[in-house]
Structure formats: structure tokens, C-alpha cells
């Protein structure tokens, strides 16, 4: 599962679609954690899509990640500022790739 303490254990190394990327990253195999309030571990995500389908406020966008060993698509939390902390995405992700930090 995603490390709930990634903000302490990882370093911000980049920004994509307005969200912080937490490293280390080494594309295309290692893509890090994307987002802060709504954080998706791209190295755990298998592109299931339940999070994107279920989010009531459309926080996520598909992004292509060709060459990644787990899946060639991921969900960018591009509108994480819209999140209402319902926790649906956290509950439905089959691989626990998402961390939402209320407050």
C-alpha cells in the first residue's frame, strides 16, 4: 500500500498537471507518488479506474504511463483541491494506491 507518511519519507521532485510528484522517480519504471491531499502511488496503481469512476467531484484524470511494469495508465489527482474527503477512492482501490489526508 501507499506509505501514509510519504510527506516525511519522500521528497518533492517535480510537478505534473499542477500536482506535486514525490520521489525518487526513475521513468518509465519508477514514477513516484502524485498529489499531496489526494496522493496516488503510481508505482502501486494498476490502472483499475474505480477511483476515477466513483469520485463524486471528478478529481482524477487518466494519464498514459507507457513502459510502467504495473500498468500503462494511471490516475492523476489533477483536481485534488476539489476533494470533499468522502474516502470513496481510498475504499474502492483494489491495491491501496491512494492516500487522502482530511484536514
Interface with ligand F3S (CB under 6 A) = 40, 45-51, 75, 92-93, 95, 97-98
* Residue 63 interface partner, choices ligand F3S, ligand SF4, none, CB cut-off 5-8 Å depending on type: none
Q: For residue 100, which of 75, 80, 76, 73 has the smallest C-alpha distance?
A: 80
Torsion of CA 35, 58, 96, 16, to 10 degrees: -30
DSSP output for 41-86: ETTT-----HHHHH-TT---EEEE-TT-SS-SEEEE-TTGGG----
Least distance between ligand F3S and beta carbon 53 (Å): 9
Contact track, ligand SF4, 46-75, x by CB under 6 A: --------xxxx-x----------------
Least distance between ligand SF4 and beta carbon 20 (Å): 15
* Residue 46 interface partner, choices ligand SF4, ligand F3S, none, CB cut-off 5-8 Å depending on type: ligand F3S
Amino acid at each position: 500500500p501507499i506509505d501514509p507518511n510519504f510527506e516525511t519519507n519522500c521528497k518533492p521532485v517535480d510537478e505534473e498537471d499542477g500536482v506535486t510528484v514525490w520521489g525518487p522517480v526513475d521513468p518509465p519504471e519508477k514514477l513516484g507518488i502524485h498529489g499531496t491531499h489526494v496522493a496516488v502511488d503510481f508505482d502501486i496503481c494498476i490502472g483499475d479506474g474505480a477511483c476515477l469512476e466513483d469520485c463524486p467531484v471528478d478529481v482524477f484524470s487518466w494519464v498514459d504511463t507507457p513502459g510502467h511494469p504495473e500498468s500503462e495508465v494511471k490516475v492523476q489527482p489533477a483536481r485534488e483541491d476539489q476533494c470533499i474527503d468522502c474516502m470513496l477512492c481510498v475504499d474502492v482501490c483494489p491495491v491501496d494506491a491512494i492516500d487522502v489526508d482530511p484536514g
